[in-house]
Structure 1
Amino acid sequence: MSADELKEKAVDAALARMRLVGFDKVRLIDVAKEIRVSHAALYSHFADKAALLDAVIERWLSRVECAMSAVASSDIDPERRIEEWFVGLYQMKRQAALDDPEPLHAFDIASAREKPFVVAHLRTLLEQLAGLLAGAKIAREGSDACLKAEMLYEATAAFHHPTLIAQTARDNRETRLREIVALVLGGMKALPVAGRDAGRRE
């Protein structure tokens, strides 16, 4: 088994254990037994349990980023693309809360600790959103688009923050999300605030 194959098998096994016993009870020794390697062999690829679980979450976040990238590069109307981007993000996380809550819980913990891969994930999503806003002519490319992406992302936090999603997942709130995105975009088009907000932040 190559190093890459071992890592993939370890991530698969850790995810399975996470779903079976919960995020907090995953142990490296159990993962090593599952993939039939020594404990020491696993340590040569993952410094500790946290590193292995981070790899599980990173894989999940990568799939989220790919799905959102597909929406961002679709050929539908630019403004509608923004709405569908948020709906896609919301539904992915809502489905995770309903059907696969342990990885979402792990992501929530990693977010609270501001782990580097979570920060990178957020940066990727905001870059996608800034590009969408510029493409729809709702923001100018550069700092204006970046600032408005942050504002829109923050305004819709109840629909993608892992803690809040877990609390409301049983109710499909897609219609409300669409209304909020339309409202905020309408306000951005009517009253550009990038310069004023940038000055206030300094």
Structure 2
Amino acid sequence: MKRPRGGSPERLPDPSNPPDERLLALAGQHLKQFGAAQVTVVGIADAAGMTHANVYRYFASKAALIDAVAGQWLKRVETLIAAIADAPDPADDKLERLLQAWARTHRDLLRDDPHLFDVYCAATQTRRAIVRRHRARMRQLTERVLDEGTVTGKFDPRDRDRALLLITDVTFRFINPVSIRLDGEMPDDLADQRMAALIRVVLRALAKGYV
């Protein structure tokens, strides 16, 4: 088993998996250990037991491969949030859990995989396609809960678009990765408390028709 420089042994992906999945798994490991600047297509190809030219059959560039790794994490976030949005709970409870979970996944990523967090920050700042698609999907999930709350009487917004903007604006500091990085030293319990206070404001505004 190959040992990356200065680290623990690599966990080689299941050789029965499709080549693109194996390459993504290895790229994720290399990114977590070395950071994007130190990841090389040659190193990933060598770990996968193929030529670097073979890698380009599946990913057009190193940047595309790294973005695909970030895209996998974003998909996992979307799956988590979709499960909350589809739950049978009342809409106000769901919106609270959705926003708390959304914020917490970002803080967890910053702590557990800071190199991947750096990629996500860069993709956000440059408005890359993976982030634009992710934002659209998260907006759809938030809209679903807001609309459900309106139908069931939990929410009474005067203007749907303004209500969505309120949710976005109030939670920006706890969901935008650039802002989260600036607050990186904030303890999780304090971040949860501050987020919870803002969510209470949002829920009251939606219930009372302030927006």
TM-score by length of 1: 0.86
For the pair 1:49 / 2:62, whether they are aligned, the reply is: yes
Residue aligning to 2:43: 30
Higher helix content, 1 or 2: 1
Partners of 1:117 and 1:70 in 2: how far apart? Answer: 21
Provide the residue aligned with 2:11 in structure 1.
none
- C-alpha separation between the residues in 2 aligned to 1:156 and 1:168? 14
Shift of 1:64: 0.3
Q: Which residue is 2:103 aligned to?
A: 90
Whether contact under 8 Å (2:156, 2:208) holds in the other structure is no
Q: Is the 8 A contact 2:156 2:209 kept in 1?
A: no
2:77 is aligned with 1:59:
no
Give, in whole Å, the separation in 2 of the partners of 1:33 and 1:146. Answer: 50
1:105 Cα shift?
Answer: 1.2
C-alpha contact 1:68 1:85 (8 A) present in aligned 2: yes
2:145 aligned with 1:132: yes
Identity of aligned residues (%): 23
CA displacement, residues 134-178 of structure 1 (integer Å, 9 cap, x when unaligned): 1111267xxx54542233122211111112222334411112111
**Aligned residue identity for 1:80:** D
Report if aligned partners of 1:133, 1:139 keep a CA contact under 8 Å in 2: no
* Structure 2 counterpart of 1:130, one-letter code: E
Q: How many angstroms does 1:179 deviate by? A: 1.2
In structure 1, C-alpha distance between the alignment counterparts of 2:160 and 2:202, rounded to whole Å: 14
Deviations along 1:98-124, one digit per CA (max 9) or x if unpaired, are 111111111111111111121010011
Which residue does 1:177 correspond to in 2? 195
Answer yes or no: is the 8 Å Cα contact 2:124–2:131 preserved in 1: yes
In structure 2, distance between residues paired with 1:46 and 1:114: 20
Between the two proteins, the alignment pairs up a number of residues equal to: 189
Q: Could you tell me how far apart the structure 1 residues matched to 2:28 and 2:116 are?
A: 8
TM-score (norm 2): 0.83
**Match of residue 130 from structure 2:** 117
Query: Are residues 57 and 83 of structure 1, via their aligned partners in 2, closer, same or farther at CA, if it must alter by over 3 Å?
Result: same
1:13-52 Cα offsets, whole Å, 9 max, x none, are: 1111111111222111111011111111111111111110
1:158 match: 173
Cα distance in structure 2, aligned partners of 1:115 and 1:85: 24
Shift of 1:192: 4.8
SS of the equivalent of 2:173 reads helix
CA distance in 1, matches of 2:49, 2:81: 36
The one-letter amino acid paired with 1:118 is V
